[in-house]
């Protein structure tokens, strides 16, 4: 290049600049990387998961370290999905090497649905801890790095409240009772999302795993998750990413786009190249590295997987590299996370001249 002429490769953007340009379906300096690291914070600080999640200061320190360590383009103040059940008064179970899980179903009898009361976000100790974490990360990062808040969709929350078998029984056999529960969950979801945005979150990741085509048919999604999302998204005060937690979204992608979110989390079994064409200049794709396979990867596997994702969907922007589930397993080794990061640095620089 001539003297004084800069290429995109010469310009190092902040994470926020990189992500915003990507969301605008333009090519920034490189493909953004969202390593959605939650449990890895405990490893970083040498703590058990229970001790790690006991203090918001632990999560703040760990997230800032992990961002620097892996050149991560987001901060992820997510604790565990079951924290919403904890807020509703249910029990949770801590294990040594995996996500915190839900204990006994919160709703043991369908007649209890009418008496169920949603938690007050601003007085729930479990939720206050997350809000304090977001505030702390915002104070550390300012506007240079996106902070991703998380909510469970009303349908996904209902699964945790009821248990999967009872959820399907009520969904198909007692739709009026399910509607009562979903209305409570919708109000909570809106309040919880907006509280995180008010605390400093940049965007909300809306986990709607139950709506994926791996779990319910397209017709049921249109009757349930689709309308719920359209309703909620108009009342959430910030950008939204819909994530299907490893489940297929290809069969419903047209309807998902209509709900009005900015980003779609894509699982490892969806065809990323096909989705790219369907979503081009409409919504950004997030994914779709296979987190389960990642536990067995060698460094060259990580590099090949990153290259495959970039080749399938990187050109023209609109791609954020991440895992396909929305949370990287505890068992993934640090050197594999580093290999992913280094591969994005090597192969994700725009323009992608190596891609045919």
Percentage of the chain modeled with pLDDT above 90:
94
Query: What mean pLDDT do residues 74-96 have?
Result: 97
3-state secondary structure the chain: CCCCCCCHHHCCCCHHHHHHHHHCCCCCCECCECCCCCCHHHHHHCCCHHHHCCCHHHHHHHHHHHHHHHCCCCECCCCCCCHHHHHHCCCEECCCCCCCEECCCCCCCHHHHHHCCCCCHHHCHHHHHHHHHHHHHHHHHCCCCCEEEEEECHHHHHHHHHCHHHHHHHHHHCHHHHHHHHHHHHHHHHHHHHHHHHHCCCEEEEECHHHCCCCCCHHHHHHCHHHHHHHHHCCCCCCEEEECCCCCCHHHHHHHHHCCCCEEEECCCCCHHHHHHHHCCCCEEEEEECHHHHCCCCHHHHHHHHHHHHHHHCCCCCEEEEECCCCCCCCCCHHHHHHHHHHHHHHCECCCCCCC
Q: What is the pLDDT of residue 1?
A: 41
pTM for this predicted structure: 0.95
Q: How confident is the model at residue 10 (pLDDT cuts 50, 70, 90)?
A: low
Q: What is the pLDDT of residue 7?
A: 52
How confident is the model over 283-298, as pLDDT tens digits? 999 999 999 999 999 9
Percentage of the chain modeled with pLDDT above 70:
97
Instruction: Spell out the domains of the chain, with CATH numbers in brackets.
Output: 8-347 (3.20.20.210)
The residue among 151 and 5 whose pLDDT is bigger is 151
What does pLDDT average to over the chain? 95
Residue 72 has pLDDT above 80, yes or no: yes
Query: What mean pLDDT do residues 342-355 have?
Result: 97
How confident is the model over 15-34, as pLDDT tens digits? 999 999 999 999 999 999 99
Q: What is the pLDDT of residue 11?
A: 73
């Amino acid at each position: 290049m001539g003297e004084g002429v800069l290429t995109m490769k010469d310009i190092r953007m902040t994470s926020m600049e990189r992500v915003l340009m990507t969301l605008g379906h333009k090519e920034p300096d490189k493909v953004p990387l969202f390593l959605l690291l939650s449990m890895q914070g405990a490893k970083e600080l040498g703590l058990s998961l229970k001790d790690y999640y006991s203090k918001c200061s632990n999560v703040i320190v760990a997230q800032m370290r992990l961002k620097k360590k892996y050149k991560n383009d987001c901060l992820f103040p997510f604790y565990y999905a079951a924290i919403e059940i904890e807020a509703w008064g249910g029990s949770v179970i801590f294990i040594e090497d995996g996500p915190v899980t839900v204990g006994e179903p919160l709703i043991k009898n369908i007649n209890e649905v009418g008496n169920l009361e949603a938690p007050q976000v601003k007085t729930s100790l479990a939720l206050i801890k997350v809000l304090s974490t977001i505030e702390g990360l915002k104070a550390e990062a300012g506007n240079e790095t996106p902070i991703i808040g998380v909510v469970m969709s009303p349908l996904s929350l209902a699964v945790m409240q009821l248990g999967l078998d009872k959820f399907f029984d009520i969904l198909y056999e007692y739709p009026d009772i399910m509607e009562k529960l979903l209305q409570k969950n919708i109000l909570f979801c809106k309040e919880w999302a907006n509280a995180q945005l008010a605390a400093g979150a940049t965007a909300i990741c809306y986990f709607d795993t139950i709506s994926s085509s791996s779990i319910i048919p397209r017709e049921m999604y249109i009757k349930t998750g689709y309308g719920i999302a359209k309703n909620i998204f108009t009342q959430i005060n910030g950008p939204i990413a819909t994530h299907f937690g490893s489940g297929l979204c290809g069969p419903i992608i047209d309807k998902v786009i209509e709900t009005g979110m900015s980003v779609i989390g894509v699982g490892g079994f969806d065809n990323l190249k096909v989705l790219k064409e369907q979503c081009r200049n409409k919504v950004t794709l997030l994914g779709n590295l296979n987190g389960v396979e990642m536990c067995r990867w060698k460094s060259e596997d990580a590099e090949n997987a990153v290259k495959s994702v970039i080749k399938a969907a990187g050109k023209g922007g609109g791609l954020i590299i991440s895992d396909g589930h929305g949370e990287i397993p505890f068992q993934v080794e640090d050197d594999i996370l580093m290999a992913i990061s280094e591969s994005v640095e090597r192969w994700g620089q725009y323009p992608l001249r190596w891609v045919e």
